[in-house]
Chain A
Amino acid sequence: MAKHPRSLVPTVGAAPPIEVALPRPRPAAPWRLTRFLESERLLAALLLAPAVVLLALFIAYPFVMGVWLALSDASVGSPGTFVGLRNFVKEWNDSIFQTAFQNTFFYTFWATIFKLTLGMWLALLLNRQFRGMRLVRASMLLPFIVPTVLSTFAWRWMVDPTFSVVNWLLYSIGLITNKLPFLSDGRWAMWCAIVVNTWRGMPFFAITLLAGLQTISPDLHEAASLDGANSWQRFWKVTWPLLKPVTIVVVVFSVIQTFADFQLIYVLTGGGPANSTHLLATYAYQIGVATGLLGEGAAISLFMFPVLFVVVWFQLRYLRRLEGA
């Protein structure tokens, strides 16, 4: 056991010196740790570190790897060498890429329009009180809950070129005499994909917009009614301005998801017939994974980045403006 340090304090006169106990010095390590933990900056850094490590590992690293691959001639089993922007130039001049690029915009635009329109309509309907309301609201989420691959398989069977139940039904009631080319005609196949995407994504719009609708005070509608506003005017002048922030966030999320869609096209059409339904994601997969040209596949994927970056930038800018207001 260490002795307490003591000092002799000189006293006036002949009185004997008084022994005074000084505070015991703390061991060096715990003192540093305390000071470290007391520093807000350091503590904040310490607490953020796990999240930063996770982000670096699972988001930054794959992204940086993707950029590196896109700038290299890497192929399966070969790490590749730096080739600059060669892959991007090659893909830009590739006719299948051009088709996939246009398809991606077409698919995203129309699917988002339909999802927004139908989702809004559904949300307005579900915002009313009726018997079985909760059951209907819950069941509406089913398309969103069922795994995409599974539901798309079901759609594939429904629009199968030979055994389509839709064709059979239309033929049985005498509306058609020849099979409709749901998946065997490029344009039909693209519209089928848009329909399936709309069916799957609409509940997300509806439920989010419904949540937004329920935050709007009924008093505002009542006041507008008393002022003589009809239902359209009440929607346009009251509901829409208050719902706009939610709508924009939902649209932005949907655009990101739809633009990068893979599963639905892969299962429904595989990009065919003759590449007419390829999207950037499915074509990148075909080139990068199936053909093994990893550099080219990564370059095709990265073409999505600037588009999605602009969308996210607008979203953040808009949200910041709302916060400012």
Chain B
Amino acid sequence: MDIQRGMDRAGVDRRGFLRLSAAAACVGLAGIEGILAARRAPAWAQGTTLHIVRWNDFIPEADVELKGQMANAGKALGAKITLETINANDLQPRLTAAIQSRSGADIFHMFYNWPQLYAKALVDVSDVAEAVAKTQGGFYDVYAPSAKVGGQWLAMPHSIVGNAVAYRKSWFAEVGAGEFPKTWEELRRVAGALKKKGHPYGQTLGHTFGDAPTFTYSLLWSFGGAETDRTGRTVVLGAAPAIDSVAFLQTLWKEACDEGGLAWDDTNNNRAFHAGEICATLNGASIYIVAKRQPDKIRDENGKPLWEDIDHAPLPAGPAGQFPLYLNMEHGVMEYSPNQKLAKDLLRWMHERANFEKWFEACGGYSVAATTSWEGHPMWQKLDKPLQIFRTAARRTRIFGYAGPSTARATEAFSKYIITDMYAKAAQGMKAEDAVKWAAQELRKIYG
């Protein structure tokens, strides 16, 4: 009774309360309806927070540097910036989930030509890209087909992880190779001799984003093979060069490689090399850099620091030459982000010479810049000779989809591991012709 009176005094009776609740619910529903119609989460406190997702760098010091920089960037831009690092293999699933739910990080780290695949979910960052390219010597050639869609830069080129074969100088010398073999045939002979001594060549043919495709696509191209013709519509994989490359891989695998490589991920070869299990492997500079930064821990069979016995060389050439696939990386600003301007400002800030330089130096040659002027940075003069190969590595890299344009279809073929599985099937015993036939059929379903 008193309560009832109290409510009456306050001007709210039971009916009034119900009316008020119903009205609130209607407003709420209308709000949700509005949000659903806008297909965007409400922009709470726009411009104050920013979330960026990147891979776990193979050079941990680079991540430490970048995380430190985010605090400074936050102060400079008046925002709270969160850098989240995740397993590289989880980037695509995270991107898909974020795009479909239209919520998640404002900026995503991207590999290769992913901007082609996620074009509809990305914002034009041409203003940032062109300004950076203008002042820093222009982007390497691989970037336009990777990140430019319809004349617009849909992701900001960031860096390239070059790769080269890390090899044990002393072991190669033991079998009469003063330097790393320059042709595949020569590698088969030399690494074959090393395998007999218990030091096989290490190569993954697993479902990995880095070490497997950078080897398999390069092998295919070096024999003159390609996925499609220049139009990107006609699959030409079934031709003789592809079959020759697969047949060669079968021999190389049996005679010279660690056959466990079929199940390796992108980290197995690093560990196998540091443990003295393999004589050589295609990788970024991380094997050398980590070995040098941990000389007491990573030693050779004689107890000496392992890095002293490591050198780098490009992959051997095939009948058509040598064409690498490196890991070119970008940052994409998401279309659903309520903080697009701030996100672009952050990219601009990260690419300012003074800021980028600190990260670039922390990488120590593992990741090189997306622009050419960094080839002349004084850091290169301080780096060891085995790392010098990475200074100009990015000049020659191709992107998948070759010889056609690097479209979303090429990304689909890549994400389905068709080229890598073609070689993996042959390594497991399938006839080279059948493995190529299978891969060509799969490619036709994508490109046709």
Residues of A bordering B, CB below 8 Å? 76-78, 90, 94-96, 160-163, 179, 181-186, 189, 269-276, 285-294
Known A-B contacts: A76-B96, A90-B445, A293-B412. Give 13 more (CB < 8 A).
A160-B268, A162-B272, A163-B275, A181-B259, A184-B260, A184-B261, A273-B205, A274-B205, A289-B93, A290-B92, A291-B411, A291-B412, A294-B96
- Indicate whether B416 reaches chain A with its CB closer than 8 angstroms: yes
Q: Which residues of A are found within 8 Å of B416, using beta-carbon distances?
A: 96, 286-287, 291
- Indicate whether B438 reaches chain A with its CB closer than 8 angstroms: yes
Which B residue sits closest to A287, measured CB to CB?
Answer: B416
9 interchain pairs (CB within 8 A)?
A: A96-B416, A162-B268, A162-B271, A162-B277, A184-B261, A273-B205, A274-B421, A289-B97, A291-B412
- Indicate whether B368 reaches chain A with its CB closer than 8 angstroms: no
Which A residue sits closest to B415, measured CB to CB?
Answer: A291
- Indicate whether B424 reaches chain A with its CB closer than 8 angstroms: yes
Q: Of the 9-residue stretches B115-123, B163-171, B392-400, which lies at the interface with chain A? A: B115-123
Q: Which residues of B are found within 8 Å of A271, using beta-carbon distances?
A: 207
Q: Which residues of A are found within 8 Å of B92, using beta-carbon distances?
A: 289-292
Asked if B93 and A273 sit within 8 Å, CB to CB, the answer is no
Asked if A76 and B117 sit within 8 Å, CB to CB, the answer is yes
Asked if B260 and A179 sit within 8 Å, CB to CB, the answer is yes
Cα distance A163–B425 in the bound complex, in angstroms: 24
Asked if B260 and A162 sit within 8 Å, CB to CB, the answer is yes
Q: Which residues of A are found within 8 Å of B206, using beta-carbon distances?
A: 270, 272-273
Cα distance A183–B262 in the bound complex, in angstroms: 8
Query: Top 9 nearest A-B pairs by Cβ distance?
Result: A161-B260, A183-B263, A274-B424, A273-B262, A184-B262, A77-B120, A291-B415, A77-B121, A184-B263
- Indicate whether B350 reaches chain A with its CB closer than 8 angstroms: no
Given the interface pairs A161-B268, A162-B277, the reply to whether A186 lies near B96 with Cβ below 8 Å is: no
Which A residue sits closest to B426, measured CB to CB?
Answer: A274
Cα distance A159–B420 in the bound complex, in angstroms: 23
Given the interface pairs A270-B207, A272-B262, the reply to whether A94 lies near B445 with Cβ below 8 Å is: yes
Which A residue sits closest to B94, measured CB to CB?
Answer: A289
Q: Which residues of A are found within 8 Å of B99, using beta-carbon distances?
A: 76-77
Q: Is the interface of A mostly helix, strand, loop or mixed?
A: loop
Total A-B residue contacts, Cβ distance less than 8 Å: 108
Q: Which residues of B are found within 8 Å of A270, using beta-carbon distances?
A: 206-207, 265
Chain B residue total in the interface (Cβ 8 A): 41
- Indicate whether B442 reaches chain A with its CB closer than 8 angstroms: yes
- Indicate whether B388 reaches chain A with its CB closer than 8 angstroms: no
Asked if B261 and A161 sit within 8 Å, CB to CB, the answer is yes
Q: What's the minimum C-beta distance from B42 to chain A, rounded to whole angstroms?
A: 21
- Indicate whether B95 reaches chain A with its CB closer than 8 angstroms: yes
Cα distance A133–B445 in the bound complex, in angstroms: 59
Cα distance A12–B93 in the bound complex, in angstroms: 93
Q: Which residues of B are found within 8 Å of A95, using beta-carbon distances?
A: 438, 441-442
Q: Which residues of A are found within 8 Å of B260, using beta-carbon distances?
A: 161-162, 179, 181, 183-184
Given the interface pairs A94-B445, A290-B93, the reply to whether A272 lies near B263 with Cβ below 8 Å is: yes
Cα distance A78–B322 in the bound complex, in angstroms: 38
Which A residue sits closest to B102, measured CB to CB?
Answer: A77
Q: What's the minimum C-beta distance from A225 to chain B, rounded to whole angstroms?
A: 52
- Indicate whether B56 reaches chain A with its CB closer than 8 angstroms: no
Q: What's the minimum C-beta distance from A79 to chain B, rounded to whole angstroms?
A: 10
- Indicate whether B264 reaches chain A with its CB closer than 8 angstroms: yes
Asked if A275 and B421 sit within 8 Å, CB to CB, the answer is yes
Which B residue sits closest to A93, measured CB to CB?
Answer: B445
Asked if B428 and A272 sit within 8 Å, CB to CB, the answer is no
Cα distance A90–B118 in the bound complex, in angstroms: 23
Q: B190-234 CB contact bits vs A (8 Å, 1 = yes)?
A: 000000000000000111000000000000000000000000000
Which B residue sits closest to A95, measured CB to CB?
Answer: B438
Q: Which residues of B are found within 8 Å of A94, using beta-carbon distances?
A: 442, 445
Cα distance A301–B277 in the bound complex, in angstroms: 40
Q: Which residues of A are found within 8 Å of B205, using beta-carbon distances?
A: 273-274
Cα distance A161–B205 in the bound complex, in angstroms: 12
Q: Which residues of A are found within 8 Å of B48, using beta-carbon distances?
A: none
- Indicate whether B258 reaches chain A with its CB closer than 8 angstroms: yes
Q: What's the minimum C-beta distance from A258 to chain B, rounded to whole angstroms?
A: 22
Cα distance A161–B442 in the bound complex, in angstroms: 28
